[in-house]
Structure 1
Amino acid sequence: MNQPTTEKLRWNTADLELFPDDGKRYEIIDGELFVTRAPHWKHQRVCVRISNTLDNWSQMTGLGETVTAPGIVFGDNDNVIPDVAWASNERISQSLDEAGHLTAAPELVVEVLSFGHENEKRDRELKLKLYSSQGVREYWIVNWRQQQVEVYRRERGILRLVVTLFNGDQLNSPLLPDFNCAIASLFI
């Protein structure tokens, strides 16, 4: 007796045009649709602080640009909106499409964890895997509740956790020459 096959619905970039502009975040990872509501105030506050710190450094160095909630279209089945991204001038000039979305990985992606097991799992597993496979060079996962930052760096072709920073630590990166940020300043 043949068992009926159940085919999993796969979403693509074109499907995103069907959704309303309702303040929710619609992302597709490996053809799976994720819908999240607006994040907590403190989540957004941390995003602004990280973005401002990176943007100030970017303006001083002229090496690239920082953007909050950019659209990144890796392909038809992978379309995400990280909290913060930094891309070099070269990457921007080579991979910004007519709609203003990156079509290649920025060098740095930052996700600030949203409340809920599924949200955390998406950032720690699905997005980590996606960003790793797409060539992101550094990925910061920020936990505003625990006031810590996990830094993943590309080693041997994949993103690996290299350090977890806490309130008394300084955040710097070989990717960002002379960048330095006190972790505590992100959470005050």
Structure 2
Amino acid sequence: MYATSTEPYGADPFTLAYLETTPDNGKRHEIIDGVLFVSPAPGRDHQRALLRLAQTLEIVRPDGPEVLPGPYEYRPTDERSLQPDLLVLSPDDANPAYTDNPLLVVEIISPSTRLIDLHLKRNVYLEAGLTSYWIFEPEALVLTVLELENEQYAERTFTGDEVFEATLPFPVQVVPAELTRSRLA
């Protein structure tokens, strides 16, 4: 992931208004506290995991919540714009442009996003009070589940063929090894 200066064209820090004027170049643009982060398009394992996870969630999704593969904008504050890889939106989330209160955010680690997803975004999501945050590492077949408890994230890790029995945002079983297979059994 590439971070640019906090000052576009030598002026003030980047704002959400800047994103509205940025042409779509196929890259992900995120702003956290005035800093613009631009990352390249993800690779095959990343996209395969995104598709499999979205399918897994969509199959068992109850009426109401919406499973939305990203990038789709999440604005936890007026100074922060993130584009998670996958979101589950609340049934009362009616804004068509972005969400400010998702039920679940998933980040799929790419080499260029590793540090941002594991550290910076984790802290941003915690500060925003995001109830459920999952991180999937395709190369290691590791799913890290972070759920808010007493204003901190309780962390659980699942690897390979281990089954994660999720209750948030709704009951679903996720097996990390199945997320990168080229075909489902």
Tell whether the structures are fold-level matches, with TM greater than 0.5: yes
Work out which of the residue numbers 143, 148, 157 in structure 2 matches 1:164: 157
Which residue in the other structure is 2:78 paired with? 76
Residues 28 and 38 in structure 2, CA contact (< 8 A), matched pair in contact too: yes
Which residue in the other structure is 2:126 paired with? 132
Paired residue type of 1:38: A
Which residue in the other structure is 2:10 paired with? none
Q: In 1, Cα distance between the equivalents of 2:89 and 2:20? A: 25
SS of the aligned residue for 1:165 comes to strand
Which residue in the other structure is 1:178 paired with? 171
Identity of matched residues, %: 29
Q: Which has the larger radius of gyration?
A: 1
Any residues of structure 2 matched to 1:37-76 within 5 Å, and which? 37-58=40-61, 61-69=62-70, 70-76=72-78
Residues 63 and 88 in structure 1, CA contact (< 8 A), matched pair in contact too: yes
Greater helix percent: which structure?
1
Which residue in the other structure is 1:105 paired with? 101
Any residues of structure 2 matched to 1:147-158 within 5 Å, and which? 147-158=141-152
How far residue 65 of structure 1 moved from its aligned partner, in angstroms, is 0.7
Kindly provide the CA deviation profile for residues 1-44 of structure 1, in whole angstroms up to 9, marking residues without a partner as x.
xxxxxx95321100012322110110001221000110111111
Unaligned runs of 5+ in 1: 1-6
Paired residue type of 1:68: P
Number of equivalent positions: 171
SS of the aligned residue for 2:124 comes to helix
Give the TM-score normalised by structure 1. 0.84
Unaligned runs of 5+ in 2: 8-12
How far residue 52 of structure 1 moved from its aligned partner, in angstroms, is 1.1
How far residue 137 of structure 1 moved from its aligned partner, in angstroms, is 0.7
How far residue 78 of structure 1 moved from its aligned partner, in angstroms, is 0.2
Paired residue type of 1:131: Y
Q: In 1, Cα distance between the equivalents of 2:6 and 2:141? A: 38
Q: In 2, Cα distance between the equivalents of 1:136 and 1:40? A: 27
Summarize the Cα distance change of 1:79–1:176 in structure 2 as closer, same or farther, 3 Å threshold. Answer: closer
Q: In 2, Cα distance between the equivalents of 1:73 and 1:176? A: 19
